[in-house]
Amino acid sequence: MLFIASKILSRIFRRTLFAVAVAFALGLASCSSTPTDLRKLAPAETLIYLETNNLGTALRSVFESRPIKESALKVPDLSALDGVQTAVSIAGFEMQEQKLTDEQSVGKITPKFVLIADTHKWNFQALAFAEAKLGAFVAGIYGSEPKLEKSEKAGGSSFAWTAADGRKAFALVIDGLIYFGNDETLIDRAIAVRKGETAAFDAKALHPANASDLAYGYISPDGMAQLANVLGVRLAAESTEEGEVRTAIAGVIPRLLRGAVSDVHWTAQRRDGGIEDRWEIDMPKDIAAVFVETMAPGDGTPDPAFASVIPANSRSITRYNLKNPQAAWRSVILTAEHLSDPFTARVFSEIGTALFEPYGIGDPEAFLSSVSQQIVTVSLGENEQAAAIVKPTTNGQLKGLLPELDPDAKKPVEPEPSDVALQYAGDLAVVGEKDTVAACVAPGTKAEVADKPPPAKGASITTIFNDEASVREIASFLGEEKTAGSVKAFSRSETNFTNVGAIRTTTSEIGFLGTIIAMLSDEN
């Protein structure tokens, strides 16, 4: 669920913060440095709220990181963005069907948002920026020069851009503030909030503003409910299964997510190791009480022997250190049944089982009953090149494997070639995609990163990730595609469960902010 929440927020940033990215061209002289409480400017309809109190500092944390420096990328001067405050209010989503062919269509999901930027500059400077730079941004998004209408409104200067296909974007500049969005009514409500004519966003649930935060984000319970629907549609559309399965996914996932997650907080701060992103997923008390028990970390120190079979070229390494892996999986299924009904839980179980198949596992519960507390998964690439490293506890034998790996399963006379394999390395078993399994058991250099820093004893789930794609995409965003080399950004995430939900803390070199910038590249 933490992974889902982070992906959701990244999609939101991708859709709504591109306008902030164009502010690289903002060359304005300083006017005022008095901080603004951005939360008091957001409209009451806000479902998702994002803010940074210093855009220059936030972006600099990415562009001054080791991977970007080693890539020798030409980074823009960010000094003009120092002190620029930005907030984004998302008030809902519009879903439209977009036809690809006569037989195929996809759902297009667009957030209704208003971006509020206090430039702390003179109004005429903010006005010039809105007309020139935001206009160029809109033209780039629409793929052609849109029609521009200017007028005076609410004591400020209003802009409305209309594309040839009817899409619209709006901006209003008043007293050095820029309001930008795709819903004019939402901008009007934000202006009314500033004038005291209507209620502002109720920010009581938000964490107090902290000067050390690079950025902060919040998804409300109502926002989580809408995002659950969006996620269900997306997962169903991306599924390769038949129509009935897609329909089940679109219905099951939102229902379970709405019941399991209350709200979400994201905070980014500068740390010695880079950028720390902290995700707090609040859950209903009964759900949190189950997971804090069943997802509890194992009692002992993680076995260092696992590091001896992790390939040096691993893209990601995840260590599950669970007191009882079988009970952990069973609690997920039982929670799904508690939140819905036996049929929905069964569908969810089948979806979950499908996630184990690339690892050569056909019965997750039986498999997890036959392994020790520690499970390490290894991925070599972006596709299904993955394997699981485990220590069998049932006389050296694993249960729940796919028939082609189960020595007791009845095999066809002429079995089809299999993409999965099972091999042993001492008392460890490696099962999964055959090339990844072979890389794990083969002699040669193993991943030093597996022990740097040492595995955390208290974390239920620890993930180490080497991200080369994001560095390339940041280079693309900066127009430096030919300059970027094969530099990887390192990150380490730890997930724990508490009495109120779950916490995932990631320390990385480019942070989630870097991921957001990467998603703004031409490649995406």
Instruction: Provide, for the chain, the percentages of residues in helix, strand and coil under a 3-state DSSP scheme, each rounded to the nearest 5.
Output: 35, 30, 35
Q: Per DSSP, what are the bridge partners of residue 50?
A: 88, 217
CA distance 249 to 207: 33
What DSSP line would sit under 367-415, residue for residue?
HHTTEEEEEEEEE-SSSS-EEEEEEE-BTTB--SB-TTT-TTSPPPSSP
Q: Using N-to-C axis directions, what is the helix angle for 469-477 and 511-519, rounded to 10°?
A: 60
Measure the CA–CA gap between 282 and 263, rounded to whole angstroms. 5
Three-state DSSP state, 314: coil
What's the rounded Cα separation, in Å, for the pair 241 and 231? 17
- Could you tell me the two tokens for 508? 């990385």
pLDDT in single tens digits along all 524 residues of the chain: 444 444 444 544 444 444 444 343 333 434 555 788 999 999 999 999 999 998 889 989 999 999 988 888 888 787 777 888 899 999 988 776 554 445 445 556 778 899 998 877 777 777 777 777 677 767 766 677 888 888 999 888 988 888 888 888 898 998 888 898 889 999 999 999 999 999 999 999 999 988 899 999 999 999 888 888 877 776 666 555 555 556 666 677 778 888 889 999 999 999 887 999 999 999 999 999 999 999 999 887 777 788 889 988 888 999 999 999 999 999 988 888 888 877 777 777 887 888 899 899 999 999 999 999 999 999 987 666 899 999 999 777 899 999 888 777 666 655 666 789 999 998 999 999 999 999 999 887 666 654 444 455 578 999 999 888 888 888 887 777 666 567 889 999 999 999 999 999 999 999 999 888 887 665 54
